[in-house]
């Protein structure tokens, strides 16, 4: 990054058209035209870099991807329709039948579904370690292990994994180290600095930041991205130009938004720490967080997700949600609107209690995605719901 984060996020735009527009236009076009047969041939042969067809590239998706590449300190990237299509395409492009993955068990629900339901169809197995079992990682690596995968902070328990430590293990064993950096955003944490080969985002969350569109992106080294790009070009999980246009505009305000989200989240976490209905509060930048030191090492701010354990378990969690008045009960996160979820009765309700506990989801765990409303109003809503 040659300029500061905020400047790069704002000043990287597609080339101006003949109309000299100030703000990037929306290029809703499925294909692009050629001057003659020779230009068309050279473009398809990739002797000439240009847009051919929006399943491959489009000026809006390229603008969005270029910003993330710069923000993450990557060499190249590719945009996808959703975070899950970025994750699936990345694994599908890089793995062969019979390969093996080592992953932290605390991963996004659908990622867990991919590991346990779909990849096994191609004889690709995944070995899990728990967040507090990082010392076991090396013992899980086999001859056919190809990818080491983590998310940090984790969803929904907000645990932190040591990127540098895991990055070094990946390097020693020549594994592709992939990090889902969705909860942190590149403003807070840049995993490539700690040895990640690829970084994946669901752009649906803080990147959009206003709960409007879905999107995903993978960035990293040029040779790996090339394989992922060719897979996507052939199989079609492309981000729509409209979504890319919305997301690229949103990135212009990522730094200000994330700063404010984190300020509000820290205040909510401090309030919860003092409340007697609350057993444990987990927020990466509270000293009481079990991995506080690691969080401080690799993150610039604590993020916008606060998890807490309400006294009284499952029933208390459900009652709390029922009494919430202003905040939304919804599955999204990273929105301007504060969102409250109770994972054990909703998103993770289909897991066994044992499986839930292994990923830090106790019966009374509540997850708050702290939004951008005035923090006093967020806290009053939580306070009145806790009283009941
Ligand atoms: C939401 C999410 C995803 C999936 O992204 P979609 O855009 O919903 O497909 C993946 N990883 C994490 C950590 C997420 O929060």
Rounded to the nearest angstrom, the distance between the alpha carbon of 81 and the centre of ligand 1 is 11
Sheet holding 176-180, edge to edge: 76-80, 216-220, 198-202, 176-180, 145-151, 100-104, 125-129
pLDDT by residue (tens digit) across 91-105? 999 999 999 999 999
Cβ of 202 less than 6 Å from ligand 1: yes
Domain stops at, among 234, 251, 268:
251
282 and 219 in a single domain? The answer is no
298 shares a domain with 175: no
Which CATH number do you get for residue 356?
3.90.1150.10
Q: What is the pLDDT of residue 349?
A: 81
**Do 350 and 283 reside in the same domain of the chain?**
yes
By alpha-carbon position, which residue is closest to atom 1 of ligand 1? 202
Residue whose C-alpha is closest to residue 84's, from 227, 193, 180, 20: 180
**Ligand 1 atom 6: residue of nearest CA:** 83
Burial class (CB in 10 A: 0-12, 13-18, 19+), 10: middle
Domain that holds residue 283: 254-387
Claim to verify: residue 211 and residue 359 sit in the same structural domain:
no
DSSP states along 83-133: HHHHHHHHHHHH--TT-EEEEES---HHHHHIIIIIGGGGT-EEEEE-TT-
Residues 287 and 206 in one domain: no
Are 226 and 328 found together in one domain?
Answer: no
Residue 371 CB–ligand 1 contact under 6 Å: no
Per-residue pLDDT tens over the stretch 116-148: 999 999 999 999 999 999 999 999 999 999 999
Which among 156, 189, 202 is the best mutation to test ligand 1's pocket, defined by most ligand atoms within 8 Å of the CB?
202
The residue from 191, 218, 251 where one domain ends is 251
pTM comes to 0.96
Are the beta carbons of 216 and 84 closer than 8 angstroms? yes
Please tell me the total number of residues recorded for the chain in this structure: 388
In this structure, what CATH number is given to the domain that contains residue 149? 3.40.640.10
Pocket lining: 257 vs ligand 1, CB cutoff 6 Å: no
- Measured in degrees and rounded to the nearest 5, phi and psi for residue 198 equal -140, 145
* SS3 at position 149: strand
CA dihedral 334, 335, 339, 341 (to 10 degrees): -40
The total of structural domains in the chain comes to 2
pLDDT in tens, 11-64: 999 999 999 999 999 999 999 999 999 999 999 999 999 999 999 999 999 999
**What does the pLDDT look like over 301-349, one tens digit per residue?**
999 999 999 999 888 999 999 999 999 999 899 999 999 999 888 888 8
- Ligand 1 centroid–CA 44 distance in Å is 33
Percent helix, strand, coil in the chain, to 5, is: 45, 15, 40
Are residue 209 and residue 282 in the same domain, yes or no?
A: no
Residue 84 Cα to ligand 1 midpoint, Å, equals 6
Residues 337 and 372 in one domain: yes
Distance CA(91)–CA(68), nearest Å, equals 20
Q: Six-digit token pair at 142?
A: 């086999």
The answer to whether residues 169 and 302 belong to one domain is: no
Q: Is the pLDDT of residue 384 over 70?
A: yes
Res 179 pLDDT > 90 = yes
Tell me, using a 6 A CB cutoff, whether residue 156 lines ligand 1. no
% of the chain surpassing 70 pLDDT: 100
What three-state secondary structure class fits 224?
helix
Same domain, 149 and 245: yes
Are 230 and 263 found together in one domain? no
Does residue 319 sit in the same domain as residue 373? Answer: yes
| Residue 83 CB–ligand 1 contact under 6 Å | yes
Identify the DSSP state of 360.
T
Atom of ligand 1 nearest to the CA of 86: 9
Last residue of a domain, one of 202, 218, 251: 251
* Contact by Cβ (8 Å): 363, 314: yes
């Amino acid at each position: 990054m040659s300029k500061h984060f905020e400047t790069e996020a704002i000043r990287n735009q597609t080339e101006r058209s003949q109309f000299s527009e100030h703000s990037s236009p929306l290029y809703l076009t499925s294909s692009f035209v050629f001057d003659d047969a020779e230009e068309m041939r050279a473009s398809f042969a990739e002797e000439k870099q240009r847009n051919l067809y929006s399943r491959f590239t489009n000026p809006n998706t390229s603008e969005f991807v270029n910003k993330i590449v710069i923000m993450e300190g990557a060499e190249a990237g590719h945009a996808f329709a959703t975070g899950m299509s970025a994750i699936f395409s990345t694994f599908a492009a890089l793995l062969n039948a019979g390969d093996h993955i080592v992953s932290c068990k605390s991963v996004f629900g659908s990622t867990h579904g991919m590991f346990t339901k779909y990849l096994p169809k191609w004889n690709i197995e995944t070995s899990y370690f728990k967040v507090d079992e990082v010392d076991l990682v090396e013992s899980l690596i086999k001859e056919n292990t190809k990818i080491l995968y983590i998310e940090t902070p984790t969803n929904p328990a907000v645990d932190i994994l040591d990127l540098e430590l895991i990055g070094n293990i990946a390097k020693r064993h020549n594994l592709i180290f992939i990090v889902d950096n969705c909860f942190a955003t590149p403003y807070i944490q840049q995993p490539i600095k700690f040895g990640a080969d690829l970084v994946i985002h669901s752009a649906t969350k803080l990147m959009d930041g206003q709960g409007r569109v879905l999107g995903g992106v993978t960035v990293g080294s040029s040779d790996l991205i090339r394989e992922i790009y060719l897979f996507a070009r052939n199989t079609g999980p492309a981000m729509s130009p409209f979504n890319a246009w919305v997301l690229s505009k949103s990135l212009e305000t990522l730094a200000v938004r994330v700063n404010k989200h984190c300020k509000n989240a820290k205040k909510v976490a401090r309030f919860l720490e003092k409340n007697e209905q609350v057993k444990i509060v987990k927020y990466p930048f509270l000293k009481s967080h079990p991995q506080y030191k690691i969080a401080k090492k690799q993150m610039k701010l604590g993020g916008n997700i606060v998890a807490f354990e309400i006294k009284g378990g499952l029933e208390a969690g459900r009652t709390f949600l029922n009494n919430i008045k202003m905040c939304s009960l919804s599955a999204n996160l990273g929105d301007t609107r504060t969102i409250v979820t109770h994972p054990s009765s909703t998103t993770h309700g289909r897991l066994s209690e044992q499986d839930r506990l292994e990923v830090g989801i106790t019966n009374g765990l509540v997850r708050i995605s702290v939004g951008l409303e005035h923090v006093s109003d967020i806290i009053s809503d939580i306070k009145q719901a806790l009283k009941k």
